[in-house]
Amino acid sequence: MLNPSQQIMRLGLGFAVSQALRATIELGIPDLLAAGEQSVDELAAATQSDADSLYRIMRLLAPEGVFREVLPRHFELTEIGAALRSDRPGPRDFVRMINSEAYLAFEQLLHSVRTGKPAFDKVFGSPRFDWLSEHPEQAALFQRAMVALGQGSNEAVAEAYEFKPFTRIVDVGGGHGQLLSAILARNPHLSGVLFDLPSGVAAARQGAGGDLPRTEFIAGDFFESVPSGDVYVIKKVVHDWNDERAAAILRNCSKAMLPNGKVLIAETLVPPGNEPSQIKGIDVVMLAVTGGMERTQGQYASLFDAAGLRLERVIQTRGPISILEASAA
């Protein structure tokens, strides 16, 4: 059992595990081990890397459950490590994305803590999404990471909410359209609007997120206005922004919403107490990278109030994501 000093040292070395994960992904080690165990020398030859150095990072990841050293300098892939294979949907693109430019921004986390402003802007000279718009390769990786993170949650949201009373759904910041596709498939009476920046709309038109029948594709800026509809769904968008900017999005939905309409935010709520929670880590990523935040139920209620809306209820889905339903105040 680790003593307090050793526990702190383990926490402080978390960056080493994170970057070792990224290195093995970039080298394609999980794919090479998919067929069975191999020696480090074989893996190093296949990846044109230094065998001793490769051994050291794989040895680091073995106690974390990613690999298993079955013989000296021979490793096999574990069930956890298999999630990093390129032929399986999963977190590999998230690990690659979070350990590149976002990782560099984290070196200036103290700047965010002192100022309340994203460190990313200081390190890269522009806000995160502006920077991504100028770096298409990293933007594509970001989109793939978001798709991986959304696995299962789109279906969970689509099945957890009753859309029968509505006729026209607007997916605000809908990206590739995976959520809208899932909702329309379950609700043939609905027509849809996929509303996003031009790049997101273009990807959705090409079917990147699935079939989108009965859908109108509209490009625009949700800080300026949103299309008219009677139910708005906003999934994993509000958390990207501070309260002022997030309230502006919701206020535009309130203005454009038809009578008796609803605004649905789909986000993961920050739980109370001291228990470990992945969303608490993502919240600090938002602080440093986008200036956004993950929120508690009470914070979302306040956000709705600021936008002229009223939180009616919170619906827990079968996944780690909740639907917060609001109507006109």
- Report the alpha-carbon angle 329-304-308, nearest 5: 40
List of residues 6+ apart from 232 with CB closer than 8 A: 169, 170, 172, 226, 253, 257, 261, 262, 263, 264
Residue indicated by tokens 């609700």: 187
Per DSSP, the three-state class of 186 is helix
Residue 239 annotated as catalytic: yes
Catalytic residue among 135, 176, 189, 239: 239
46 three-class SS: helix
Which tokens sit at 212? 């989108």
Rounded Cα distance, 306 and 247, in Å: 6
3-class DSSP string for 116-170: CCCHHHHHHCCCHHHHHHCCHHHHHHHHHHHHHHCCCHHHHHHHHCCCCCCCEEE
> Dihedral angle at the C-alpha atoms of 245, 313, 261, 259, nearest 10 degrees?
-110
Q: Classify residue 324 by burial, with Cβ atoms within 10 Å: 0-12, 13-18, 19+.
A: buried
Q: List C-alpha distances in Å: 64 to 10, 79, 80.
A: 12, 12, 9
Q: Report how far residue 306's alpha carbon sits from residue 310's, in angstroms, rounded to the nearest whole number.
A: 9
- Cβ–Cβ under 8 Å, residues 329 and 156: no
Query: Nearest 5°: phi and psi at 204?
Result: -65, -40
Which among 205, 211, 268, 259 is positioned nearest to 239, based on CA atoms? 268
Residues involved in catalysis: 239
